[in-house]
Amino acid sequence: MNDRFQPQYPTYAAGAYSAERNRVLRNTYSLLALSLVPTVAGAWAGLRSGLAQWMFLNPGMGLLLFFGGAFGLMFLVQRNNRSGLGVGLLLGFTFFMGLMLSQLLSMVLGLANGVQLITLAFGGTALIFAAMASLATVVKRDLTGLSKFLFVGVIMLLIAGVANFWLQMPALMIMFSVVALGIFSVFMMIDVRRILDGGETNYISATLAIYLDLYNVFTNLLMLLSIFSGGGGSRR
């Protein structure tokens, strides 16, 4: 943020502000790393329990389960974001998202190079996050307008995603994933920047926002890799 727009704190106040900002960022990254554990556990449980197969056979019910569970849990996390319960609800949310991820993982693991594709998508997501987080430390302009523009893009993506659920158009699916990859990559930078600017002071809410960015980047990157991998051949 440009210094001319920053309030002029006394030295001690500026130090306290910097310490608080660093605390939020440190706690956010720690909780974000922890959230990967229930996500992996949820994905494993979804594959082992047959939930992934059930969602394939019942796509309408699976879509309702995803939207109902995701938005319901996000609401509860935000409602309790100033208590220890909020941390537990966030980890429960990431477990649920792992369960939902099992459907895509099941499809990709059906390819002969499925494990390699998942590894590549994970590594690519980590690289994108590192790049966006680094960019967030050097960007000085106000990103409020960009954030609003991207939010409109997310709404349009939701509409297109639901439409393609019924239309099943491969070209629309590719376009959806490319646009989503771009939008949520930029959202990573914006969400990290909000912490650095002091616009987000709650590490639970910050973790939820960045987790959703990472989740969407990973799933859409994995989708694109599986489409353009040449099929890799099916195991079945």
pLDDT in tens, 59-80: 889 889 999 999 999 999 999 9
- For the cut 50, the answer to whether the pLDDT of residue 1 exceeds it is no
Helix axes 170-197, 203-228, angle to 10 degrees: 150
Q: Report whether 225 contacts 106 (CB < 8 A).
A: no
Q: What is the pLDDT of residues 9-48, one digit of tens each?
A: 444 455 666 788 889 999 999 999 999 999 999 999 999 9
Answer for the pair 78, 205: CB distance below 8 angstroms, yes or no. yes
Say yes or no to pLDDT of 5 above 50: no
Q: CB-based contacts of 51: which residues, under 8 Å, 6+ apart?
A: 45, 99, 102, 103
C-alpha to C-alpha distance for 210 and 12, rounded to whole angstroms:
30
Q: With pLDDT > 70 as the criterion, what percentage of the chain qualifies? A: 87
The pTM score is: 0.86
Q: How confident is the model at residue 2 (pLDDT cuts 50, 70, 90)?
A: very low
